[in-house]
């Protein structure tokens, strides 16, 4: 049985709910960043751990349901490059992805 067949049916994430998840994670990340920069007691490791966890959550919950990979362009190299850049650079990458999807939906 393939991975697609084994995966249970899920409701696709809407653009609005994906943007809400991104905005919530971004606001929390910016708050933690401000706290880390303004105080000496806040552990910087927690900020790094949150950054990686937020990138993982966005890749697994939002990117999987919002982006449909075309079979011709879904090579291992292209998918890995897109997912890793979205994972590590999620504050910028998801802003670009969501803006492009909004433009595609509106226009």
The pTM score is: 0.80
Residues 6+ apart with CB under 8 A from 29: 47, 50, 51, 54, 91
pLDDT in tens, the chain (107 residues): 555 555 566 666 788 998 999 999 999 999 999 998 898 888 888 999 999 999 999 999 888 888 888 888 888 898 899 899 999 999 999 999 999 999 988 98
User: Where do we find the tokens 């697609």?
Assistant: 4
């Amino acid at each position: 049985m393939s991975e697609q067949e084994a995966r249970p049916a899920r409701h696709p994430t809407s653009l609005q709910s994906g943007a809400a998840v991104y905005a919530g994670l971004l606001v929390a990340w910016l708050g933690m960043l401000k706290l880390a920069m303004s105080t000496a007691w806040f552990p910087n490791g927690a900020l790094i751990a949150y950054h990686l966890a937020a990138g993982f959550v966005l890749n697994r919950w939002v990117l999987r349901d919002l982006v449909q990979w075309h079979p011709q362009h879904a090579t291992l190299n292209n998918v890995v490059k897109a997912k890793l850049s979205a994972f590590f650079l999620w504050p910028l990458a998801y802003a670009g992805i969501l803006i492009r999807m909004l433009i595609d939906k509106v226009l």
